[in-house]
Amino acid sequence: MGDIDGNVAQVFDVLEELETQGVDVAVFPELTVCGYPPEDLVLKPGFVEDCVDAVAKIAARTGETAVVIGSVVGDRDLFNAAMLCHDGEVVLEYHKRLLPNYAVFDERRYFTPGTEPLSLVEIKGVKVGIAICEDVWSPTGPMFELASGGAEAVLVPNGSPYRAGKALGRDVMMSSRASDNSCAMIYVNQVGGQDELVFDGGSVIFDHDGQLIGRAPLFEEKVLLADLEIRATYRKRRLDPRGQELPTPQLPVQVISPADPADDQPLANPLAADIAPHLGRLEEQWKALVLGTRDYIQKNGFSEVGVALSGGIDSTAVVALAAEAVGADKVHAVLMPSRYSSEHSVTDAIALCENLGVKHRTIAIEPGHQAFLDMLATSFEGLAEDTTEENLQSRIRGVTMMALSNKLGWLILTTGNKSEVSVGYSTLYGDTAGGYAVIKDVWKTDLYDMCRWRNEQGDGEVIPVSVIDKAPSAELRPDQFDDQSLPPYPVLDAILQGYVEDDLTATELIAAGHDEAIVRRIVRLVDIAEYKRRQSPPGVRISAKAFGRDRRMPITNRYRG
């Protein structure tokens, strides 16, 4: 995001490779030169001017290969635009028409919908149109207008962020758009992490019949090359979805490279694109967490990370994910046992580090814990012990991790999962202290499944089975277990998914069969924990509704439903 010079350099590198292979047209993702989503950067006139200058540089660099790139353009009105460049100039500029303003999207805050008349370009005799991301999700949107106006292929730059299960549904929808409009579609999606968002790639090419021609892998940058055959029949006749021949004149066409008579002949040796497989749910989510964590760390200038490793499932998973993201040699696990820490927690933590090759150190917090108790003794005199003394231990650990961060330059990764984040089962300025929350959008029950999946990947028992099997505990008092404060996680997560992700009220959850007392208690915990979530670090979004960008609730709120 905002690395305009770096993004232009990447475009140049790819173009140099493609031009040697005689590629007719190259398509890059949405807002290529600045990254997506740029948010309030677009409110800076200088930023927009730099983006426009970058487009001019790319256009001047182009030759025989036509290039589609994205950029912010405009003055008083700003547009999310895609430009088709060829032979040193911008040949076609398209402004996104359907601006998403839901979930993580707020494009209407920044951009004006495009209203310019649609037009096409002819590349090697093929009539080509451009649409951007949301424009092709509507069955009656620009894709329909372009195809009805004579387009034989539509080039679609995208910034489509990941959520679990989206890739398959996206492919089904794109196939339908292509077949419904009898128009080939080249759908190119951004890859990488941007703050909370992960863009999963998975770019696809569909022919006029909605048949898959090529698919790039998920979560990996890829140059996907393919020969797309546009059959002669589509140049002679265009039908609308009802089978009626379309009237002329159709959309205006600018010819940038004319047809060769040989182009109407079947290709002798067409270049077949790779078709990367879809991934299973757990692998998909694991890779999303790895990519989002890696890019947040590296793009923000960190090389090493620190994790407070307790020996529990949450911190264990974070260490394993971090090791895969940046390399085990860049991950530092810190064991901070207290007077209540069990022996198996320490041995499990050490076993994990040895399995992964992660460096670890032990800093016992007992001296600091006792010092704080002594320091506060007069103020606490006559008062019974409660969660104050428990939370003190977590806050000592938070201070310790931040001291290591300051001194050694680590980015601290926090370890709270979505179940705990939902109900506030965390200590503000304690285990919430850090720079990035890797698993904040992962339900506890899903985390167990992910860890079991990770151990099935053929490289041995990475995550000690004892960590997966033992009862979860914060270990802040003797014989403490999570289910003393919360319902069992399968019960808890079912209620939370309904309340947090599906927007059900307490009344609706009770009507669905959940225990009324438990529902009322959990809903209250979620509501009163909003102030904690506002002060917690960002983390990878993998669900349809994550805290922060998706779910935005008032802190001061008496509605209980």
- E strands, 104-243, where? 120-123, 126-130, 153-158, 184-189, 191-194, 197-200, 204-206, 212-215
More confident residue, 471 or 168: 168
Residues 55 and 184 in one domain: yes
pLDDT of residue 145: 93
Residues 332 and 381 in one domain: yes
Residue 500 lies in a domain: no
Question: In angstroms, how far is CA 76 from the centroid of its own chain?
Answer: 31
Residues 253 and 305 in one domain: no
Q: Please confirm whether the linkage preceding 37 is cis (ω < 30° from 0).
A: yes
What pLDDT, in 10s, does the model give residues 96-140? 999 999 888 999 999 999 999 999 999 998 999 999 999 999 999
Matching residue, tokens 């579609």: 185
Across 40-59, average pLDDT:
96
Element of type H or E holding 89? strand 89-95
Domain CATH number, residue 231: 3.60.110.10
Per the structure, how many domains does the chain have? 2
Residue 471 pLDDT level (bands cut at 50, 70, 90):
confident
Across 253-266, average pLDDT:
78
Residues 178 and 310 in one domain: no
Residue 491 lies in a domain: no
pLDDT of residue 1: 94
Across 506-535, average pLDDT:
95
Across 512-526, average pLDDT:
95
Final residue before a domain boundary, out of 231, 264, 297: 264
Residue 415 lies in a domain: yes
Q: Is 30 annotated in the active site? A: yes
Residue 195 lies in a domain: yes
Strands 78-86 and 89-95: antiparallel
- Residues 305 and 537: beta-carbon distance below 8 Å: no
CA dihedral 262, 263, 269, 274 (to 10 degrees): 170
pLDDT of residue 129: 96
Residue 343 pLDDT level (bands cut at 50, 70, 90):
confident
Residues 104 and 224 in one domain: yes
pLDDT of residue 237: 45
Instruction: Walk across the sheet containing 204-206 and list its strands.
Output: 212-215, 204-206, 184-189, 153-158, 126-130, 120-123, 253-257
Q: Is the pLDDT of residue 480 over 80?
A: no
Listing DSSP states for 342-394 in one string gives: -HHHHHHHHHHHHHHT-EEEE---HHHHHHHHHHHHHHHTT----HHHHHHHH
Q: State how far the Cα of 416 lies from the Cα of 432, in Å rounded to an integer.
A: 7
pLDDT cut 90: percent of the chain above it: 80
Q: Which of 34, 51, 85, 96 is catalytic?
A: 96
Q: Is the pLDDT of residue 32 over 80?
A: yes
Q: Which of 34, 85, 133, 183 is catalytic?
A: 133
What pLDDT, in 10s, does the model give residues 286-315? 999 999 999 999 999 999 999 999 989 999
Q: Is 353 annotated in the active site? A: no
Residues 155 and 18 in one domain: yes
Nearest CA-CA partner of 415 in 352, 459, 461, 372: 352
Residues 102 and 223 in one domain: yes
Across 277-291, average pLDDT:
96
Residues 27 and 93 in one domain: yes
Burial (0-12, 13-18, 19+ Cβ within 10 Å), 165: middle
Q: Length of the chain in residues, anyone?
A: 561
Q: What is the mean pLDDT of the chain?
A: 91
Q: Which two tokens stand for residue 411?
A: 């980015």
Domain CATH number, residue 286: 3.40.50.620
Structural domain including 60 reads 4-264
Residue 532 lies in a domain: no
Q: State how far the Cα of 187 lies from the Cα of 192, in Å rounded to an integer.
A: 17
Residue 143 lies in a domain: yes
What pLDDT, in 10s, does the model give residues 380-401? 999 999 989 889 999 999 999 9
Residues 233 and 124 in one domain: yes
Final residue before a domain boundary, out of 264, 296, 326: 264
Residue 557 lies in a domain: no
Across 313-323, average pLDDT:
97
Residues 258 and 389 in one domain: no
Final residue before a domain boundary, out of 464, 482, 500: 482
Q: State how far the Cα of 115 lies from the Cα of 464, in Å rounded to an integer.
A: 58
pTM of structure: 0.92
φ, ψ of residue 227 in degrees (nearest 5):
-95, 125
Strands 305-308 and 331-335: parallel
Q: Which of 30, 93, 152, 420 is catalytic?
A: 30
C-alpha radius of gyration, the chain, whole number: 27
State the first-to-last Cα distance of the chain, in angstroms, to the nearest integer.
Answer: 40
Q: Is the pLDDT of residue 181 over 70?
A: yes
What pLDDT, in 10s, does the model give residues 421-436? 999 999 999 999 999 9
Q: Is 133 annotated in the active site? A: yes
Residues 242 and 305 in one domain: no
Q: State how far the Cα of 141 lies from the Cα of 156, in Å rounded to an integer.
A: 13
> DSSP letter at 166?
H
Residues 217 and 290 in one domain: no
Residue 312 to residues 119, 323, 341, 347, Cα–Cα distance (Å): 59, 17, 11, 11
pLDDT of residue 486: 86
Q: Which two tokens stand for residue 178?
A: 């292509």
Residue 552 lies in a domain: no
